[in-house]
A and B are shown apart, each in its own frame.
Chain A
Amino acid sequence: MKKLLSGNEGIALGAYEAGVKVVTGYPGTPSTEITETLSKYKDIYTEWSVNEKVALEVAAGAALGGSRTLVTMKHVGVNVAADPLFTMSYIGVKGGLVIVSADDPQSHSSQNEQDNRHYARAAKLPMFEPSDSEDARQLTRLAFEVSEKFDTPVFLRPTTRICHSYSVVDVNGNERKEVDCGKFERNLSKHVMIPAYARARHFDVEDRMAKLKEFAETTSVNTTEINDTEIGFITSGISYNYVKEMAPNASVLKLGMIYPLPENKIKDFCSKIKKVYVVEELEPFFEEQIKVMGCDVEGKKFFPITGELSPDNVAELLYGKKELLPAEKILARPPALCPGCPHSFVYNVLKKHNILVSGDIGCYTLGVMPPFQVIDTCIDMGASITAAQGLEIADPSIKHAAVIGDSTFAHSGITGLINAAYNKRNTLVIVLDNSITAMTGMQHNPFSGETIRGEQAVQVNYQYLAKAVGIEDDNFMEVNAYKPDEIESAIVKLSDSGKLSLLVVKGICVIYNRKKNKKKEGV
């Protein structure tokens, strides 16, 4: 049977078929639906982890314990997980460990458009990149095999346009293959990375890289199509489709394995084709390596480093600029807090009292948009609480507050709160709790009291937490998001106290509430 699947569903299907046993991750567009899809299979353990570092560490343990394990995150999540990532490269695996880094060229839903192919090179890990949903499924299965064969974590790097595009997958025979990878085996010099053991393991990593380079030369996912020998393209992922669409007669070297590169295959291709272009989104990652191989190719001279590519970029290279109907100037529809969001009241109060607001990632970043324009900084997950401390140190004469959502607070806000208490800072920390991780499409977290499957779970208690880190009783308050007067008096009182304070504003996400009620009514 043929089914229309998104790239994320393709990855989930491939992981299921590969016999994945453990799946961890932190929600992040465009990766979220992979773990959500896998959570529907009862025979697979899935969790929303507290953050990406935790997700990768749980996954590392599961893989060392012999389970095939998938861990999912968006590109910036890999920054959070980078600490275990680099050392897991030295340690290796027992059950296959596949790390999905869903990159977001064009920053559709992210704070930057970093190119995570660099992580593969930096951490010395193999990386695969799918070009459609079937490819995503196949490469996920292959990634588990490569992980076990070469004793290495493996990266799978889809981009937004793959994650959220749909293509036809023939799901006939999608049987799950259970793989027995054995159990954890004690091996101190491999699993305990003290300097002496790490130095020795580095040699193993270099040996592995050499073997992976050989594998890259022979794997069937790096394919050469020789057609017109006048012009050829080296490409991967979504860009492959743009090339095939616009240059159907050109020769193409498609890379399914994007690190390490198949040097001989590339040199061979370049020797047969008169003019070779490298088509890749974001950084000249292939282009620079291929130029070092001594091949005469062109890439970023014709294609932008910023943003996504499109079929138009390839068309322009081949046929020149196309004459288009002029773009119309019409009113913008910028993203905004949802109509009826209970947390808009807080922004009005912060604006009125002229408080410097350090913001965070998630829905509440939208406080930067009109009519509020009340967020002064947004850096990364958890940085509201910590950047506010730095801003306060730099200028204690003005009023400061940090604004953060519940999931982000659990992700990496709590550590910052402890830092504030320990270092005698006097910031007002405001958690806007809407009972869910909303921006990524309603995922549970440690403050929502349910697991990924909707089972009841521990719900972290804000008041005990405040007490435990050392916030005085009078400096903890919890108010109802629908009561602007109470919010205002709380902000004024806590801000004037000049002491570290935690204010929790509670108001359930309106969209989540609607969903929940619909479920109750059985609609």
Chain B
Amino acid sequence: MDKVFNLLIVGVGGQGTILASNIVTQAAMNAGLDAKKSEIHGMSQRGGAVFSHVRFGKKVYSPVIAKGNVDVLISLEEMETLRWTEFLNKDSQLIVLNNRILPANTAEYPQGLTDKIKSQFNNVVSIDPEEYSKKLGNAKYLNVFLLGVLSNYVELPEDCWKNAIESLVPQGTFDKNYEAFLTGKECK
């Protein structure tokens, strides 16, 4: 993998972007690749928009993705997808979990965002969180499920993913999480 792969994971504080980005980064390292990851902790994250830049390839310098260069965006929240458009291009692959989290002190969630996203980008996989929470048995497996979806768009060997999931998910949850990953893999 000579070209560095650029993955941006976005959401709202508390949605689990960090575990998800840790698993991808570990999977890339398991494949013998160089990897970097960048996120910001602290005040800006209190109830705020969160992001994690993940980059991997033969040699990675910047932990931050240049604008317009995202290969895949995983968004854990519908509105958050559109906060980061400057980092995307028309052909970026978007994997969007259509959670809707109302920002503090706002009355109404904006309508029609999924249509807007689909009209702006050529490659969008749109996931209904309720449907898949039921299918997976619990909403907490959704993030690893999304990594299964991601695995269709990045060349990393299956066992690298498996080992990364095994080493990073909470004890006793590997089977369920790996099942979620495989379910995601079927979802293109």
Chain A residues within 8 Å of B, Cβ to Cβ:
2, 4, 29-30, 108-109, 132, 160-161, 164-168, 238, 240-242, 244-246, 310-312, 315, 322-328, 330-339, 363, 366, 370-371, 439-441
**Chain A CB within 10 A, most for which of B43, B103, B105:** B43
Chain B hits for A30, CB < 8 A: 41-42
CB distance from B63 to the nearest CB of A (A): 4
Interface string of B69-95 (1 = CB under 8 A from A): 000000000010011011011100000
Q: Given that A311-B62, A328-B82 are known contacts, is A167 also in contact with B35, CB under 8 Å in the complex?
A: yes
Question: Of A161, A315, A337, A338, which contacts B63 at CB under 8 A?
Answer: A161
Q: Is the CB of A439 within 8 A of B43?
A: yes
Chain B hits for A366, CB < 8 A: 46
What is the CA–CA distance of A389 and B85 in the complex, to the nearest angstrom? 47
Q: Is the CB of A331 within 8 A of B110?
A: yes
Q: Is the CB of B37 within 8 A of A29?
A: no
Q: Is the CB of A164 within 8 A of B35?
A: no
Question: Of A29, A242, A326, which contacts B42 at CB under 8 A?
Answer: A29
Question: Of A328, A330, A333, which contacts B47 at CB under 8 A?
Answer: A333
What is the CA–CA distance of A161 and B36 in the complex, to the nearest angstrom? 12
CB distance from B98 to the nearest CB of A (A): 15
CB distance from B4 to the nearest CB of A (A): 8
What is the CA–CA distance of A361 and B83 in the complex, to the nearest angstrom? 28
Q: Given that A165-B36, A328-B82 are known contacts, is A312 also in contact with B46, CB under 8 Å in the complex?
A: no
What is the CA–CA distance of A323 and B38 in the complex, to the nearest angstrom? 24
Interface set, chain B 20-71, CB cutoff 8 A to A:
22, 25-26, 29, 34-49, 60-68
Q: Is the CB of B47 within 8 A of A338?
A: yes
What is the CA–CA distance of A363 and B47 in the complex, to the nearest angstrom? 12
Q: Given that A167-B35, A328-B85, A336-B46 are known contacts, is A322 also in contact with B67, CB under 8 Å in the complex?
A: yes
Q: Is the CB of B39 within 8 A of A164?
A: yes
Tell me if B12 is interfacial: C-beta within 8 Å of chain A. yes
Chain B residues within 8 Å of A, Cβ to Cβ:
12, 22, 25-26, 29, 34-49, 60-68, 79, 82-83, 85-86, 88-90, 103-106, 110, 120
CB-nearest residue of chain B relative to A315?
Answer: B66
Q: Name 27 interchain pairs, CB-CB below 8 A, sorted by A.
A: A2-B29, A4-B22, A4-B25, A29-B41, A109-B43, A132-B63, A161-B64, A165-B63, A165-B64, A166-B25, A166-B35, A166-B38, A167-B35, A238-B63, A244-B61, A244-B62, A245-B62, A310-B64, A311-B62, A311-B64, A333-B47, A333-B49, A333-B104, A334-B47, A334-B104, A336-B46, A339-B47
Q: Is the CB of A331 within 8 A of B106?
A: yes
CB distance from B22 to the nearest CB of A (A): 7
Q: A interface, by DSSP: helix, strand, loop or mixed? A: loop
What is the CA–CA distance of A213 and B120 in the complex, to the nearest angstrom? 55
Question: Of A245, A327, A371, which contacts B61 at CB under 8 A?
Answer: A245
Q: Given that A312-B66, A330-B110 are known contacts, is A335 also in contact with B37, CB under 8 Å in the complex?
A: no
Q: Is the CB of A310 within 8 A of B47?
A: no
Q: Is the CB of B85 within 8 A of A311?
A: no
Q: Is the CB of B42 within 8 A of A440?
A: yes
Chain B hits for A323, CB < 8 A: 68
Question: Of A4, A310, A331, A339, which contacts B35 at CB under 8 A?
Answer: A4
What is the CA–CA distance of A409 and B37 in the complex, to the nearest angstrom? 36
CB distance from A523 to the nearest CB of B (A): 9
Q: Is the CB of A166 within 8 A of B83?
A: no
Chain B hits for A331, CB < 8 A: 79, 103, 106, 110
Q: Is the CB of B36 within 8 A of A312?
A: no
Q: Is the CB of A166 within 8 A of B103?
A: no
Q: Is the CB of A338 within 8 A of B46?
A: yes
CB distance from B23 to the nearest CB of A (A): 11
CB-nearest residue of chain B relative to A440?
Answer: B42
Chain A hits for B62, CB < 8 A: 241-242, 244-245, 311
**Chain B CB within 10 A, most for which of A238, A240, A441:** A238
CB distance from B55 to the nearest CB of A (A): 9
What is the CA–CA distance of A337 and B12 in the complex, to the nearest angstrom? 15
Q: Given that A109-B43, A165-B63, A328-B83 are known contacts, is A4 also in contact with B26, CB under 8 Å in the complex?
A: yes
Q: Given that A2-B29, A4-B35, A330-B110 are known contacts, is A108 also in contact with B40, CB under 8 Å in the complex?
A: yes
CB distance from B185 to the nearest CB of A (A): 24
**Chain A CB within 10 A, most for which of B36, B41, B68, B103:** B41
Q: Given that A4-B35, A324-B68, A333-B49 are known contacts, is A164 also in contact with B83, CB under 8 Å in the complex?
A: no
What is the CA–CA distance of A25 and B110 in the complex, to the nearest angstrom? 45
What is the CA–CA distance of A238 and B53 in the complex, to the nearest angstrom? 15
**Chain B CB within 10 A, most for which of A132, A168, A242, A244:** A168
CB distance from B106 to the nearest CB of A (A): 6
Chain B hits for A311, CB < 8 A: 62, 64-66
Chain A hits for B46, CB < 8 A: 335-338, 363, 366, 439
What is the CA–CA distance of A30 and B44 in the complex, to the nearest angstrom? 12
CB distance from B77 to the nearest CB of A (A): 10
CB-nearest residue of chain A relative to B117?
Answer: A328
Question: Of A161, A166, A334, which contacts B48 at CB under 8 A?
Answer: A334
Chain A hits for B35, CB < 8 A: 4, 166-168
Q: Given that A311-B64, A325-B89, A336-B47 are known contacts, is A166 also in contact with B34, CB under 8 Å in the complex?
A: no
Q: Is the CB of B66 within 8 A of A109?
A: no
CB-nearest residue of chain A relative to B106?
Answer: A331
Beyond A241-B62, A245-B66, A338-B46, 5 additional pairs, beta carbon < 8 A: A109-B41, A325-B68, A325-B90, A333-B47, A337-B46
Q: Given that A328-B83, A333-B49 are known contacts, is A108 also in contact with B42, CB under 8 Å in the complex?
A: yes
What is the CA–CA distance of A439 and B47 in the complex, to the nearest angstrom? 12
Q: Given that A161-B38, A245-B61, A311-B64 are known contacts, is A335 also in contact with B43, CB under 8 Å in the complex?
A: yes
Chain A hits for B25, CB < 8 A: 4, 166
